[in-house]
Chains A and B, each alone.
Chain A
Amino acid sequence: KQEVTQIPAALSVPEGENLVLNCSFTDSAIYNLQWFRQDPGKGLTSLLLIQSSQREQTSGRLNASLDKSSGRSTLYIAASQPGDSATYLCAVRTGYNTNAGKSTFGDGTTLTVKP
């Protein structure tokens, strides 16, 4: 059974800092990995999707990397801003033909960026 862990559970940084959020998973036979942002009481917004054959994806100030062999992904946020404050979740999707391509979610890292 796939297990996804995100550490730390919470992170507080001053504005302008570069930061890294971590996601680890137990089964390396993944189909893809997706990072989401969730604001309090709101839905999940997709940030980046990395297919199993890829090593990283970039969007603006965000960069996500994937190392399947070690069961890890990182989300790098450059020059953090107060508007980046949210909970960040990673989701690992297992093989397409097994368990219908189930996505397993981590519990998230709650980020606070102080002005």
Chain B
Amino acid sequence: EAQVTQNPRYLITVTGKKLTVTCSQNMNHEYMSWYRQDPGLGLRQIYYSMNVEVTDKGDVPEGYKVSRKEKRNFPLILESPSPNQTSLYFCASRGLDSPLHFGNGTRLTVT
């Protein structure tokens, strides 16, 4: 089954404790992206990647890192999480002309 898999689904952590949210897709898509969704602010792009070893900032990249060492994986790293990064996070991928496919989301709470 074609899918984008994110883990974990829920994560509660404390300020400053480094964390990684994993994202993997099995559709051989070149493009992958991370979004955060907050009430009243909609979906905002954090980082995206056009291909292996190619990443670029989206609209709200501050406080986040990503890497694209393999085509299928695109982890999101929070080196020192803060409470304002509490949000619902989504990973997505697509091919050249294909629809954007989303993962099921990761609900992060930073206390």
Q: Measuring CB to CB, which residues of chain A are less than 8 angstroms from any residue of chain B?
A: 32, 34, 36, 41-46, 49, 51, 89, 91, 93, 96, 100-103, 105-108
Determine whether the beta carbon of B56 is less than 8 Å from that of A107. no
In the bound complex, residues from chain B placing their C-beta under 8 Å from that of A102 are 45, 48, 58
Chain A residues contacting B58 (CB-CB under 8 Å) are: 102
Q: How many A-B residue pairs have CB under 8 A?
A: 45
Taking Cβ atoms with an 8 Å cutoff, the residues of B that contact A are 31, 33, 42-43, 45, 48, 50, 56, 58, 88, 90, 92, 96-105, 107
Q: Is the interface of B mostly helix, strand, loop or mixed?
A: strand
B53 to chain A, nearest CB (A): 14
Whether the Cβ atoms of B42 and A91 lie closer than 8 Å is no
- Of B48, B56, B90, B100, which is within 8 A of A34 by CB? B100
Name the A residues within 8 Å of B100 (CB-CB): 34, 46, 91, 93, 103
Partner of B104, one of A43, A49, A108: A43
By the criterion CB–CB under 8 Å, are A101 and B99 in contact?
no
- Nearest 9 pairs of A and B residues by beta carbon: A44-B102, A105-B43, A43-B104, A46-B99, A49-B99, A107-B42, A43-B102, A43-B105, A100-B50
CB nearest to B104 among chain A residues: A43
B15 to chain A, nearest CB (A): 24
